[in-house]
Amino acid sequence: MAGLFESAGDGGAAIALEEVEASILRSFEVQMLELIGPGPAGLGDDPLAALFAEGPSSPPADPALARLFPDAYGGPDGPSGPEEVAAAGEFRRYTELDLRARKRDDALAVIRSLDALGGSGGVLQASAEDCRHWLGGLNDLRLTLGARLEVSEDDEDLYELDDEDPRKPLVMAYLWFGALQESLLEAMAG
């Protein structure tokens, strides 16, 4: 898998993707949509109802979701003490639904741009706005895989896994998504 983003000017980027690469990216983004879940039911198209909708006040139990939707207060292990727990819950209650919606929008934008390739691969042209969605979508994929693989700052052994290790395909995807993300940032800047 050699396709990386290159600058297309005006903050946009382009990437040549083989059919298998586009298929892998699309599959992971569809799984991201499933992980994030649908928006709150019963809001319909009522913007006022959406404005006053409240999200959960406690962090998700799933480590991948907890990584995507971390507590806003406290250290790496979450809030400590009743004041921080209450503040984190209040913050989550009013922000998580918007954050989930943004992550859904990012994943859907990536899927739609991959679908525009027609399932056969090719050169994907991304506008500056599309690049922001791609950047968010790739970041969410990396965070999720990192949580699933329990990646830490000291995980040099990820680069040295045996081919028989069942984590190897996910590690390869994790590293590839990181390379895509880095090349996209460089393309957007250049």
- Domain contains 74: no
- Domain contains 79: no
C-alpha distances (whole Å) from 11 to each of 113, 126, 178 are 17, 9, 19
CB 135 within 8 A of CB 178: no
The pLDDT tens digits for 52-83 are 677 788 889 999 999 999 998 887 777 888 99
Q: How far apart are CA 33 and CA 26, in angstroms?
A: 11
- Domain contains 64: no
Position 113 confidence tier, pLDDT thresholds 50, 70, 90: very high
The predicted model scores a pTM of 0.89
What is the total count of domains within the chain? 1
Lowest-pLDDT range of 33-37, 71-75, 146-150, 156-160: 156-160
- Domain contains 78: no
The pLDDT tens digits for 9-49 are 999 999 999 999 999 999 999 999 999 998 776 555 666 66
- Domain contains 69: no
* Containing structural domain, residue 143: 6-38+97-189
- Domain contains 118: yes
- Domain contains 49: no
28 exposed, middle or buried (CB, 10 Å; 0-12, 13-18, 19+)? buried
- Region 147-167 average pLDDT: 84
- Domain contains 57: no
Is pLDDT at 155 greater than 80 in this prediction? no
